Amino acid sequence: EVQLVQSGGGLVKPGGSLRLSCAASGFTISSAWMTWVRQAPGKGLEWVGRIKSNAGGGTVDFAAPVKGRFTISRLDSSNTLFLQMDSLITEDTAVYYCVGKDTWGQGTLVTVSS
């Protein structure tokens, strides 16, 4: 069974950093295109970024609002995907979802507030 379990959300001050984790089971993340999606409170879904599979080149793409501030990486030994978020702003407040193999994680809330 494909499953994604997320961790790492919380409250952070503007300008701060946070790292989200997404532990996968039932498949190997290096063989899949893995995506991060966020949803601000009461708003719609927003595509954040993606890392392609090794076969796809492993390249990373980001949406304009987070480019240069967010980084996506993965640790193959633990089959875990990460979203490193730096220089956070209040507009980054959202529930963040990881998505892989057409399966969504449970989401984790990130709140950026002073």
Partner 1 sequence: QAVVTQEPSLTVSPGGTVTLTCGSSTGAVTSGHYPSWFQQKPGQAPRSLIYGINNKYSWTPARFSGSLLGGKAALTLSGAQPEDEADYYCLVSDDGGRVFGGGTTLTVL
Smallest gap, in angstroms, from Cβ of residue 27 to partner 1? 14
Look up tokens 């997320």; give the residue: 6
Smallest gap, in angstroms, from Cβ of residue 63 to partner 1? 6
Closest CB to partner 1 among 5 and 86? 5
Residue 22 carries which DSSP code? E
104 touching partner 1, by CB under 8 A: yes
Footprint of partner 1 on 9-38 (CB under 8 A): 35, 37
Residue 27 bridge partners (DSSP)? none
Look up tokens 């954040």; give the residue: 48
Strands 94-100 and 34-39, sheet pairing: antiparallel
96 touching partner 1, by CB under 8 A: no
Tally the residues of the chain. Answer: 114
Q: Which of 1, 42, 57, 64 binds partner 1 (CB under 8 A)?
A: 64
